[in-house]
Amino acid sequence: MTKYNTWNQTETQKIVSMSELPNPKPRVVICVGDIHGFVTKLKNLWSNLERSIDRSEFETATVIFLGDYCDRGPDTRHVIDFLVALPSRYPRQKHVFLSGNHDLAFAAFLHLLPPPPDGSPFSDGWKEYAASEEREGWFNGEGFENMYLQGRRWSGKIKDKINTVKKTEYQGSIYDAGPTFESYGVPHGSAGSPLLFFALPTTNIYL
């Protein structure tokens, strides 16, 4: 009986001690969106965050990238290289990479999307937007027959020169994907997805 009381008292003391411990400080959460191929701006932003946030908090932060890493800016390749390197450079951080519509379209062009769950071909999805095919100049090179709609739109060559909504000039396609092709040193759309696929470092594909 005495032994039981001693054990019980010790365990009670442990429980009281644990209850007095301060709650762990929550991680800092950083959200970054719409990088769009501008690696200099990305690096400047990262440096500003590193200077502005307490060192220990920055090194253990959760960093959520909200997608749209490619297109528009000239350095998509370097943007993705920078992002891929983060886990090894900051091993205590948690990195979350979400896909934006530009990234989805890029992946579609590379045939990296899973097939439709109902077993239908990707071409069934073209029908709803077929009226826009000529104006947007959808990609019709090697591999287009089994390509998701947005992949064809992303890698196409739009006939309009000006985006009337944004008042900017299109850069190759309706997604402004021309600079992405250029950053990997391949012609915009004309070479087909295999050439761009092999131009990508392997680690980029699994981002």
Go through the chain and tell me how many residues it has. 207
**Are 88 and 55 within 8 A, CB to CB?**
no
Residue 188, domain member (yes or no): yes
> What's the confidence (pLDDT) of residue 6?
47
In the 3-class helix/strand/coil scheme, how is the chain assigned residue by residue? CHHHHHHHHHHHHHHHHHHCCCCCCCCCEEEECCCCCCHHHHHHHHHHHHHHCCHHHHHCCEEEECCCCCCCCCCHHHHHHHHHHHHHHCCCCEEEECCCHHHHHHHHHCCCCCCCCCCCCHHHHHHHHHHHHHHHCCCCCCCHHHCCHHHHHHHCCCCCCEECCCCEECECECCCCHHHHHHCCCCCCCCCHHHHHHHCCHHHHCC
**Same structural domain for residues 117 and 67?**
no
**Same structural domain for residues 70 and 134?**
no
**Same structural domain for residues 92 and 126?**
no
Residue 1, domain member (yes or no): no
**Same structural domain for residues 122 and 198?**
yes
**Same structural domain for residues 117 and 200?**
yes
> What's the confidence (pLDDT) of residue 151?
95
Q: Nearest-5° angle of CA 139, CA 143, CA 145?
A: 80
- What does the pLDDT profile of the chain (207 residues) look like in tens digits? 444 444 455 555 555 455 555 667 889 999 999 999 999 999 999 999 999 999 999 999 999 999 999 999 999 999 999 999 999 999 999 999 999 999 999 999 999 899 999 999 999 999 999 999 999 999 999 889 999 999 999 999 999 989 988 899 999 999 999 999 999 988 888 655 666 776 677 556 545
Q: Could you give the CA distance from residue 114 to residue 33 in angstroms, rounded to a whole number?
A: 25
Strand 162-163 relative to strand 168-169: parallel, antiparallel, unpaired? Answer: antiparallel
> What's the confidence (pLDDT) of residue 187?
87
Residue 7, domain member (yes or no): no
Residue 21, domain member (yes or no): no
Active site residue 102: yes
Q: Which domain holds residue 93?
A: 29-97
> What's the confidence (pLDDT) of residue 142?
87
- The total domain count for the chain is 2
> What's the confidence (pLDDT) of residue 1?
47
Which of 95, 102, 111, 188 does the annotation list as catalytic? 102
**Residue 137, both tokens:** 């100049």
Task: Kindly give, in sequence order, each residue whose CB lies less than 8 Å from that of residue 70, ignoring residues fewer than 6 positions away.
Answer: 36, 37, 76, 79, 80, 102, 103, 106, 177, 180
